[in-house]
Amino acid sequence: MKITLNGKTIEAREGETILSAARRMGLDIPTLCHMEGLPPTGTCRVCVVEDRKTGRLIPSCSFPVSDGMDIATHSNQAVAARKTIIELLLASHPDDCLYCPGNGTCVLQRYAQELGVRQRSYSGARNRINLDVSSPSIIRDPEKCILCGRCVRVCSEVQGVSAIDFTGRGSTAQIGCAFNEGLNVSSCVNCGQCVMVCPTGALTERRDVDRVLKALDDPAMTVVVQHAPAVSVTLAEEFGIKPGSDIVDRMNAAFRRMGFDKVFPTSFSADLTVMEEAHELVQRVRKGGPFPMFTSCSPGWIKYLEEFYPQMLGNASTCKSPQQMMGAVIKRLWAPASGLDPKTVYSVSVMPCTAKKFEASRPEMGDGAPDVDAVITTRELAEMIRMFGIDISSLEGEAADSPFGERSSAGKLFGASGGVMEAAARTAYHMLTGENLKDMRIEAVRGLEDVKETTLTIAGIELKLAVVSGLGNAGRLLRDIIEGRRTYHFVEVMTCPGGCINGGGQPFLTDPERVRARMLSLYEIDRNASLRVAHENSSIAALYRDHLGEPGSKKAHHILHTTYSPREVLK
User: In the predicted model, is pLDDT for residue 170 greater than 90?
Assistant: no
User: In the predicted model, is pLDDT for residue 154 greater than 60?
Assistant: yes
In order of start, what are the domains of the chain with their CATH numbers?
Answer: 2-89 (3.10.20.740), 127-205 (3.30.70.20), 210-560 (3.40.50.1780)
Q: Are 323 and 372 in contact (CB under 8 A)?
A: yes
**CB hemisphere CA count around 148 (13 angstroms):** 28
Q: Are 539 and 403 in contact (CB under 8 A)?
A: yes
Q: Is the dihedral of CA 524, 377, 354, 269 positive or negative?
A: positive
User: In the predicted model, is pLDDT for residue 419 greater than 70?
Assistant: yes
Buried residues in 559-571 as b, exposed as e (16+ CB within 10 A)? bbbbebeeeebee
Residues of the chain above pLDDT 90, percent: 90
User: In the predicted model, is pLDDT for residue 571 greater than 60?
Assistant: no
Stated pTM of the model: 0.94
Buried residues in 349-370 as b, exposed as e (16+ CB within 10 A)? bbbbbbbbbbbbebeebbeeeb
pLDDT tens column, 261-312: 999 999 999 999 999 999 999 999 999 989 999 999 999 999 999 999 999 9
**506 vs 238: CA distance, rounded Å:** 9
Tell me the helix, strand and coil percentages in the chain, rounded to 5: 40, 15, 45
Interacting residues of 338 by C-beta distance below 8 A, sequence separation 6+: none
Q: What's the mean pLDDT in 143-156?
A: 96
Interacting residues of 5 by C-beta distance below 8 A, sequence separation 6+: 21, 22, 25, 27, 71, 73
User: In the predicted model, is pLDDT for residue 436 greater than 70?
Assistant: yes
pLDDT tens column, 302-339: 999 999 999 999 999 999 999 999 999 999 999 999 99
**135 vs 24: CA distance, rounded Å:** 40
**CB hemisphere CA count around 191 (13 angstroms):** 35
Q: Are 422 and 446 in contact (CB under 8 A)?
A: yes
Instruction: Band the pLDDT of 30: cuts 50, 70, 90.
Output: very high
In terms of C-beta density within 10 A (0-12 exposed, 13-18 middle, 19 or more buried), how is residue 2 classed?
exposed
User: Could you give the residue numbers annotated as active site?
Assistant: 277, 280, 297, 317, 356, 359, 364, 500
Q: Are 466 and 452 in contact (CB under 8 A)?
A: yes
User: In the predicted model, is pLDDT for residue 570 greater than 60?
Assistant: no
Question: In sequence order, which ranges of 138-265 are alpha helices (DSSP H)?
Answer: 150-153, 193-197, 209-216, 248-258
Q: Give Cα 299 distance to the centre of its chain.
A: 11
